[in-house]
Amino acid sequence: MAETLKTIFYAILIALSIRVAAFEPFSIPSGSMIPTLLVGDYLFVSKSAYGYSRYSLPFGLPLLPEDRIFFEEPERGDVAVFKLPRDNSTDFIKRVIGLPGDRIQVKAGILHINGQPVERRKTEDHIYENAPGQFSRINQYIETLPNGREHLIAERSDDNPGSDNTTIYTVPEKHYFMMGDNRDNSNDSRFPGVSFVPRENFVGRAEFLFFSIDGTAWKIWTWLDKLRPSRFFTGIE
C-alpha cells in the first residue's frame, strides 16, 4: 500500500512539474480564432516560450518575481494564451499583432501597423455548420504580417462598427496588442475589456493541436460522428 501511494505521489509530482515548466493543455471555447482554431479544439501551450511569470504557476500563485524570468520576446504572429488583464483569472487566446511601441489601427477592415496597411489576399470561403444540416460561408483571407508570417483570417464585412474602423492604438512598453483571427467576432485589444496585454500576463505560446471534436469531448458515444481527426497533432500557424 505504501509503495502504491508513493508511486501515485511521484506521478502527480511529475505531471505538475510538466504542467508548470513545459506544456499545459487548453481547449477552445469560442469562435474568436476561426479559421485557425475551432470550438472543440484541444491544444498544448509551451510554458517556456516566453519565460515564466506568476501566471505560469497553478492559480497564479505569487511565488515568482514581478514581470518575467528567462524572458523571451513574443514574435508578431504568435498565437498565445494570456490572462485577461482586467481580472487576471480568465484565459484568452489571441494572435500577437502589436509589439511595444507599435501603432495599430484598423481602417475599412484592413489592419495597419505603424501607418502601413498589412497585405491580405482573398482565398476560398470558410464554410461552417451553424445548425444541423445548415451551412454558412464567411470571407477568408491570407494576411501577411510585416515580418513575413502568414495566417488565415475570417472577415464578414469591412464595415463592422467598432472593429473595422478604429482609432490608433500606441502599444505601451512591456505590453502587446492581441487580435482574434475572426476579426468581426473577437473581443480583443481593440476593446476596453481587453486592451493592451502586459507581458507578465502571458501563459505561453500555442504550439499544436492534439484533439478536436465538433461537440463535447466527454460524450464519448458521439465521437464516431463528431471527431475531427484531420486536425489531430497539427501545428498552429
Query: Is 46 designated active site?
Result: no
**CA pair distance 206, 237, nearest whole angstrom:** 9
Query: Is 157 designated active site?
Result: no
CB 65 within 8 A of CB 56: no
- Cell 473595422 sits at which residue? 164
Could you tell me which residues are beta bridge partners of residue 66?
Answer: none
**CA pair distance 181, 94, nearest whole angstrom:** 8
- Cell 502599444 sits at which residue? 171
Which listed residue (83, 94, 163, 189) is catalytic?
94
User: How many CB atoms within 10 Å of residue 32?
Assistant: 22
CB 144 within 8 A of CB 123: no
Buried b (16+ CB within 10 A) or exposed e, 205-236: bbeebebbbeeeeeeeeeeeeebeeebeeeeb
Just list the catalytic residues: 32, 94
